[in-house]
Structure 1
């Protein structure tokens, strides 16, 4: 992804993408950041991890420039997002720390037009580029892939501690809104003890207001023989995290209206009802407070939800 050009290391994927799609923001997943709004999403090629279960392996494992079929300069991306009514642009599909310089340039162009930027990332990055990168991000979903060094080393080719340091950095040294996602893989990272330890660490180090998402694993890449996660495992993980004090815990890659919805942390009433990615009910006032009790729902909210729904729209960057 980088090469020595005239004695200078340059990002060879700058300005090139594997494609652009408009998604609901909830698909990143971010449930407490401008719910219901569309986000223009794109990635490049390559990754700094080697996850054996990667579900975007055709992009993240690519070393071929042929993967990058779309030319898009930062200003074009910002213009297109504004033209299409997207509230945010997301760097996703492969980890944006791989295209650090390009992501920052796009973020700067977006901010000039009042468009938010979202990083979907594993959080595996050194302190210096981490500080530079996140000063240009408004929100992030961080994959906390497991809570053991064994898993990180053997299954992802990386390490746990740098990810934990990124999470603490985001919470205590930035204004970035972030949520956590863990893909539960049978027999690898789905034990009650591991979920217990993970959620306790989150409460102790990040606080109870950081939303967590537990998702169903589907066999992919080099883990084709590992079975799909039972939905009961994901529901149980959600309950463990709730019991440990996390205020908002969600499920992913499965349909469960109750576990997809947001419930007031103060009175327990429904404040955002979801059916998949569709906002079905909205019980927050214009200040993000529960209509039943007046308690604040943590997050970044508009006075009313977006209406993008479940749509997924491919974007042709060459069309005016």
Structure 2
């Protein structure tokens, strides 16, 4: 359990949060994640965005984000979910993990609410996604479980517009909150940071078992489309023994059709003393994953087309060629079948891939929010 952080001001703005309980000692326990922060009035949890205001818990970042950007879906990374399509991505501030190697630390470790530049109600985000041609909205950059109330409202608005929802998360979330949060998520990239409790405790102050429970829940119970990502850090989580244990667990517990991405680390945040991950390490991890029986293993953050492409597990034909975020070969037919042998390719595919390519386009939500609010007001007056 984690003690709260006391603020200088007495009043905390925000909207009412869910998943909390009043304790016998007068503190409020947050029940969104296993950290279970216990808060006195005027304190925030370790995530910094869930706070106590009087006798309730509030989410202080509802409706505010650190920015919006249209990305290729492969950047999440998701290689088997609507390939080639654009996704509207956004995050807020804060995080419920303390990863020393965080690659998005300027957002996830932010303690400054003025970092939250864009403001938009859920309906405006859904409208912006539809207007810009995005097939999905991604909750990313920082972990969306900490802004659960905002995320599920946005996700509901997106579904009303026919827009899919993608969560990019470390999966550190308690059971009740987990069920509501993932109920509206169509795809998840789950960050499996390592495969030892020692790594999670010492570098993330979290628990591997909790993350494994989330992975099993998503794949076996919710049957959500899931892809896993492991950032390989030299000397920390890249030993052959750990990679063998990780890939065997994925293959045997989650199944051989769950894609696994091994991505390259670069020195950042509080881990600048480590070197970049050698390409050889990623290729070794790729080989170990294939040897464990995984059908779809990828390398990321490096330029290696062979291990970034998708191959039919039945006949070995390249069915999706990838050069970074640019698609080339396409051999997936109706119903997600290999056009060469008819074998099933696991994933969520459309008859043709999107053509968004590697573009990254920042989006300001102010204008979309303005038009959406005007439309809402006009509708109410009718």
Q: Same fold (TM over 0.5)?
A: yes
Which runs of structure 1 show a deviation greater than 6 angstroms over 4 or more consecutive aligned residues?
none
Establish whether residue 62 from structure 1 lines up as the match of residue 110 from structure 2. yes
CA–CA separation in structure 1 for the residues paired with 2:207 and 2:262: 20
In the alignment, is the contact (CA less than 8 A) between 1:138 and 1:175 conserved in 2?
no
The Cα RMSD (Å) is 0.8
CA–CA separation in structure 2 for the residues paired with 1:15 and 1:167: 28
Cα-to-partner distance string for 1:73-104 (whole Å, 9 max, x where unaligned) = 10000000000000000000000001010000
Partner-residue secondary structure (3-state), 1:9: strand
Match for 2:181 among 127, 133, 139? 133
Establish whether residue 266 from structure 1 lines up as the match of residue 314 from structure 2. yes
Larger relative contact order, structure 1 or 2 (CA cutoff 8 Å, min sep 6):
1
Counterpart residue number, 2:162? 114
In the alignment, is the contact (CA less than 8 A) between 1:211 and 1:249 conserved in 2?
yes
Counterpart residue number, 2:46? none
Establish whether residue 280 from structure 1 lines up as the match of residue 301 from structure 2. no
Match for 1:8 among 28, 48, 56? 56
Gaps of 5+ in 2: 1-48, 369-382
Cα-to-partner distance string for 1:101-124 (whole Å, 9 max, x where unaligned) = 000000000000010000000011
Counterpart residue number, 2:348? 300
Match for 1:231 among 262, 266, 279? 279
Match for 2:242 among 194, 199, 204? 194
CA–CA separation in structure 1 for the residues paired with 2:156 and 2:339: 36
Counterpart residue number, 2:260? 212
TM-score relative to the length of structure 1: 0.99
CA–CA separation in structure 2 for the residues paired with 1:243 and 1:278: 27
Greater shift after overlay, 176-185 or 2-11? 2-11
CA–CA separation in structure 2 for the residues paired with 1:232 and 1:3: 45
1:6 offset after TM fit, Å?
Answer: 4.8
Partner-residue secondary structure (3-state), 2:133: coil
CA–CA separation in structure 1 for the residues paired with 2:50 and 2:329: 46
TM-score relative to the length of structure 2: 0.83
Cα-to-partner distance string for 1:228-256 (whole Å, 9 max, x where unaligned) = 01010001101100011000000000011
Partner-residue secondary structure (3-state), 1:319: helix
